[in-house]
Amino acid sequence: MIGPGARIIDAVTGDEYAGDRLITAIAAEPLPPTGVVVCPMRADAPSVLRYLGARAAGRAALVCDPAAAAGLTQRFGPAVDLHPDLALMLATSGSTGRPRLVRHSGAAVAAAATAIVKALHIGADDTAVTSLPLFHTLGLSVLHSHLLAGATVVLEPRGVLDAGFWGSVERHRVTAITGVPHTFELLVRLPWDPARSPRVRSLAVSGGRLRDALVTRFAGAMAGAGGAFYSMYGQTEAGSRICVLPPGHLPAKAGCVGPPVDGMRLAIAADGEVVCRSATVMMGYADTAGDLARGDDCGGVLRTGDRGRLDADGHLWLSGRLNRIGKAYGVRVDLDAVEHAAGALAPAAALAGDDRVLVWCEGLPAARAHEVAALVGRELGIHRTAVRVTAIDRLPRRANGKVNYDALPV
C-alpha cells in the first residue's frame, strides 16, 4: 500500500516521513504480541505510523475514534482467534454508543484504494490534506489512495475554519481536498474560492448529498481555475467509494453520483434498493469479539439500504434511504426528499413526527420558517401545515460531518 515516493507530513510538528525513513518508522512500530491492534486515529504521525505498522505486519487493525478506544479495546482487544483475511475494522458511519464494526480483508482495502486512484486520477505529484477524521472510511481512504499512488499526505488536525489549516495548505502545496457536504457548507461561509488556494486542483465530496446549487457553484469555480470537482457516493461497507461522477458531467448532472468505480457493478432491486457487487465489499459486521473469527459473510454483494436509479449512461441517481419514511396526515413522505427540498433555502434535517414531518433548518431566520414549510409542501405534494419547521443556529453533527439526528432539539 506504500507506493514509491509516498510521503506523510505532520503539519503540527513538521516531521516528514518518506523513502527509507518512512519504511523504517513503520517497521519499528511496537505492536502487541497477539490479537487485534487497536489504532486510536488522530491526524498525526504517531497514529498513522502505528496503523501502517499493523498493516505492514499483516495484523488486523481496529481504526477508531480516540474517544472510543477504551471501550473498543475492552470489547475486541482480547480476541486472538482472528480470521486470516481480516485486515481492517471500522465503525459504521452512524455508530454511537456501542458501535458496530465493519470487517474488511486486506484484498478489499487494496482494491478500493486502487479504484480510487484511477477514478480521481491521483498521481505521485499530488498532495492531499486530512480534512476529515482518519477513523472514518472517507478520511482513511484519502490516506490509502494517496500513499498507494506515491503521493503526499499532510496530517492536519485543524478544520477548514481554522487559519492554521489553510496555512498548511499553502505551506505544503496541497493539491486535493476531500470533504463531506458539511465541509462545503463551511467553505461557503468562509468564503473560499480557488483563487485563495491556487495550487488546489481537485475537490471531492462524499458522505451525503451536497445541495445542487453548491455542486454547481464549486464545479464551476474549479473548472474556471483549471481544476476538477468530483461528486462521489460510498459506504463503509463497500470500501468507501461506490461511484464517482467525472467533472465533465457537471453541471448537467448535478445531483448524480456518477458511474461505479472500476471493479464495481451496480443493480437496482425490485424495491428500488441499490445493490453493489465488488471485491471491495466488506466481509461482514462484528458486534462481539467472536465475530472476528468469521470469514466472508457477504460474498462480494452488498444491499446498500439506499434507493436509486441508473440512467441511460449507467450513472446512479440516489433518492434516499429505504427506512427514512415519515407520514404527513397519513401520506407516506420520504424524509431525504424533505431535506433536499428544504435545502434550497438552508441546510436541513428531517425526522418523522406524530403524523407530521419535523424539519430543522440551519442558520434560517425564524420568520422564514413558513417559506420552508410551503416549499416542502409544494415539492412533495403535502399540506404545508403537516410540516413543522424549526430554525436552529447549527445542526448537531457527528465527527464525520453527518447530522446527529439523536441530538436534534425536539
**Cell digits of residue 7:** 510521503
Amino acid, single-letter form, for residue 108: A
Query: What is the predicted pLDDT for the residue at 99?
Result: 76
Dump pLDDT digits (tens) for 89-113.
999 865 445 678 999 999 999 999 9
Query: What is the predicted pLDDT for the residue at 208?
Result: 86
Q: Under a CB-based contact definition with an 8 Å cutoff, are residues 331 and 315 in contact?
A: no
Query: What is the predicted pLDDT for the residue at 97?
Result: 54
Q: Which long-range contacts (CB under 8 A, 24 or more apart) does 182-190 make?
A: 182/347, 182/397, 182/401, 182/402, 183/131, 183/132, 183/401, 184/210, 184/214, 184/218, 185/214, 185/347, 185/362, 186/159, 186/160, 186/161, 187/160, 187/218, 188/214, 188/217, 189/161, 190/160, 190/161
Strand partners, 9: 16, 154
Amino acid, single-letter form, for residue 260: P
Which residues make Cβ contacts (< 8 Å) with residue 96, sequence separation at least 6? 398, 404, 406
Edge-to-edge strand list for the sheet holding 387-392 = 348-352, 357-362, 387-392
Query: Cα–Cα distance between 351 and 226 in angstroms, integer?
Result: 40
**Residue 361's CB: how many other CB atoms inside 10 A?**
25
Amino acid, single-letter form, for residue 251: P
Q: What single-letter DSSP state applies at residue 210?
A: P
Query: What is the predicted pLDDT for the residue at 92?
Result: 84
Query: What is the predicted pLDDT for the residue at 315?
Result: 98
Query: Cα–Cα distance between 319 and 307 in angstroms, integer?
Result: 5
Query: What is the predicted pLDDT for the residue at 98?
Result: 65
Dump pLDDT digits (tens) for 59-82.
999 999 999 999 999 989 888 899
**Cell digits of residue 185:** 457548507
Query: What is the predicted pLDDT for the residue at 159?
Result: 94
Query: What is the predicted pLDDT for the residue at 78?
Result: 82
Q: Under a CB-based contact definition with an 8 Å cutoff, are residues 283 and 299 in contact?
A: no
Could you tell me the sign of the dihedral formed by the alpha carbons of 336, 342, 348, 349, in that order? negative
Low-confidence ranges of the chain (pLDDT < 50): 95-96
Within 225-367, where are the H helices? 335-342
Query: Cα–Cα distance between 155 and 183 in angstroms, integer?
Result: 17
What are the structural domains of the chain? 7-319 (3.40.50.12780), 324-407 (3.30.300.30)
**Residue 38's CB: how many other CB atoms inside 10 A?**
21
